[in-house]
Structure 1
Amino acid sequence: MRLYQLHSKQTLPISKERAWEFLIDPKNLKVITPKAMGFNILSGGEVPLFPGQIIQYTVSPFPGYTTKWVTEITHIKEGEYFVDEQRFGPYALWHHKHFLTEVPGGVEMEDIIDYKLPLRFLGQMAHPILVKRPLQKIFDYRREKLNSLFGECKNHIPFLEFKSF
């Protein structure tokens, strides 16, 4: 069994409060997701995030394939972090932690996603092309979109790293 981890950091020139307000509105996930992903919230996105919230949506990770994805918001510390976990969807495991930290000149947004693919060896073989590359593109898009919405911190270098265990 191989576990993977995506670790991303981005600094924005806004207050922690403003970043938090944006992140806890489920509708904003569509704003920071590439249109080609076909992301649509089916239910659970009408109110700001709360522990126990179930959000159902559809996503098209690649052309010709659409899947339903169900996540639960499992933990929230107001203004600091929240965690979403897949309950049903394309991954064998998906555990996504979102952190906000005040830094000089703004707020650092940090994501740590631990995930496991289905299909054992086949999933591992598919990872570089069908999973890692699209996740890289999603987070590149997200970084650019957030910069266009809130501005860019010129003195902070974004960070994106993949690991496997």
Structure 2
Amino acid sequence: MIYNIKSEHLLPITIDQAWDFFSSAKNLSKITPPEMSFVIKTDLADREVYEGLLIDYIVKPILGIPLPWRTEIYKVDKPNLFADRQLRGPYKMWEHTHFFEATDNGVLVKDNVNYELPLGFLGDIAHVLFVKKKVESIFKYREQALNRLFPKQEI
């Protein structure tokens, strides 16, 4: 079964600032929960994303067990969106599209993730028992981290 999670967050920054932050994979660790021990293995040399970019990570999503994760950036429309998909990792399928929409109050950052777990019905049971909550908690942490990184300005 394919699951979906969507997230929206308004940040008090410009669309170009949002693009610069989110299109640098090095910033992922700043918005990923520390207990996941997220480490980028690919030398990115501060490059922004481009179609075909492969990024290797080590992540500990469950029980502190380190797992390799490789993603490919497969779509880029600067500064409006980019999309990545898992080529190797803990999911049977993971596709994440990052959208950026300029507004009068900043930029609306939207995430749309489609994912599928391995192991058939056992994966579906795991989703109900803990994976769904884990994925939701990652995005909740991300929202809190973004609020700390980009605080709303008082007028």
TM-score range, shorter chain: over 0.9
Unaligned residue ranges in structure 2 (runs of 5+): none
Q: CA deviation at 1:65?
A: 1.2
Closer, same or farther: CA 126–37 of 1 in aligned 2, 3 Å: same
**2:17 — aligned with what?**
18
**2:128 — aligned with what?**
128
TM norm structure 2: 0.94
Q: 1-side partners of 2:136 and 2:111: how far apart?
A: 13
Unaligned residue ranges in structure 1 (runs of 5+): 155-165
Percent of aligned positions that are identical:
39
Is the Cα–Cα contact under 8 Å of residues 36 and 64 in structure 2 kept in the other structure? no
Structure 1: 4+ residue segments shifted above 3 A: none
Task: Spell out, residue by residue over 1:71-97, the C-alpha distance to the aligned partner (whole angstroms, 9 max, x if none).
Answer: 000010010000000001111111110
Aligned pairs, how many? 153
Is the Cα–Cα contact under 8 Å of residues 37 and 59 in structure 2 kept in the other structure? yes
**1:58 — aligned with what?**
58
Closer, same or farther: CA 54–26 of 1 in aligned 2, 3 Å: same
Relative contact order (C-alpha < 8 Å, sep 6+): which is higher?
Answer: 1
Is the Cα–Cα contact under 8 Å of residues 44 and 53 in structure 1 kept in the other structure? no
Q: 1-side partners of 2:131 and 2:44: how far apart?
A: 25
> Larger deviation: 29-38 or 126-135?
126-135
TM norm structure 1: 0.89
Q: CA RMSD in A?
A: 1.4
Higher strand share: 1
**1:137 — aligned with what?**
137
